[in-house]
């Protein structure tokens, strides 16, 4: 038992270092946007490392060999970024693409192509080299980017998956699916409202009702 505990502590340490590091990096980026009064697409940031039990359960469910867990399970380290608008989700994706410390090798767009359950989110799977006392340790990190509405639905669906041991009754599945359609409509409407407000500001600048130097300030006040 002692050797097993030591194995898992050693195995998970690079993931814990990576998550902690990225929480600091992304929070610093968010604060920089705010400080510069720039367009800030990042609303909330959180992260976690899967528990040993969750890792083993997923490996068994997906038929992943124990020795391939580090390669074939992409979300042992997970960073979640929550945004206000759908447009912001894709802007965060572009921000991640410019980073030199991660290598994006897979993008799963469940917003444009929702899962059968109704789940919507953008998943970015990356390789990241963690600096440890023994040198660099390459690991997978999954970034999940979603709106508040997507996150609300996903949180409830996730809790029900565990409550029903991944066997949610069909009636509940259907109600969850219908709820996902509602959250999708909400996201689309909120994006349209934001676009409409931006058009109003542009028009007022054209008509010289607002000073040009106030243009970015007014737009950012809507986007926050």
Residue 142 annotated to the active site? yes
Q: Cβ neighbours of residue 109 under 8 Å, at least 6 residues apart?
A: 122, 123
Annotated domain spans of the chain:
2-149
pLDDT at 1 over 80: no
What are the pLDDT digits (tens) for 192-220? 998 888 887 777 666 665 554 554 555 55
Phi, psi of 50 (to 5 degrees): -60, 145
Q: Which CATH superfamily is domain 2-149 in?
A: Beta Polymerase, domain 2 (3.30.460.10)
Q: How far apart are CA 85 and CA 43, in angstroms?
A: 10
Beta-ladder partners of 128: 102, 139
Q: How far apart are CA 125 and CA 50, in angstroms?
A: 15
Give the three-class secondary structure for 108. Answer: strand
Q: What is the pLDDT of residues 16-29, one digit of tens each?
A: 999 999 999 999 99
From 32, 94, 116, 142, active-site residue = 142
pLDDT digit string, tens, across residues 75-107:
999 999 999 999 999 999 999 999 999 999 999
Give the separation between CA 56 and CA 197, rounded to whole angstroms. 48
């Amino acid at each position: 038992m002692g050797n097993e505990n030591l194995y898992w502590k050693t195995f998970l340490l690079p993931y814990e270092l990576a998550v902690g590091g990225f929480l600091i990096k992304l929070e610093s980026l968010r604060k920089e946007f705010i400080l510069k009064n720039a367009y800030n697409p990042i609303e909330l940031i959180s992260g976690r490392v899967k528990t040993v039990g969750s890792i083993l359960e997923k490996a068994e469910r997906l038929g992943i060999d124990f020795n391939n867990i580090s390669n074939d399970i992409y979300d042992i380290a997970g960073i979640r970024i929550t945004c206000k608008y759908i447009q912001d989700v894709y802007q965060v994706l572009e921000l991640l693409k410019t980073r030199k410390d991660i290598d994006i090798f897979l993008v799963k767009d469940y917003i444009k192509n929702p899962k059968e359950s109704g789940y919507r989110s953008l998943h970015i799977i990356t390789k990241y080299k963690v600096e440890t006392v023994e040198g660099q340790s390459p690991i997978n990190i999954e970034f999940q980017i979603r709106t508040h509405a997507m996150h609300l639905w996903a949180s409830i669906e996730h809790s029900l998956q565990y409550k029903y041991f991944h066997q949610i009754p069909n009636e509940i599945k259907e109600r969850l699916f219908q709820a996902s359609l509602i959250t999708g409509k909400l996201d689309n409407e909120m994006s349209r409202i934001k676009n409409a407000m931006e058009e109003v500001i542009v028009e007022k600048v054209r008509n010289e009702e607002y000073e040009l130097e106030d243009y970015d300030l007014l737009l950012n006040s809507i986007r926050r």
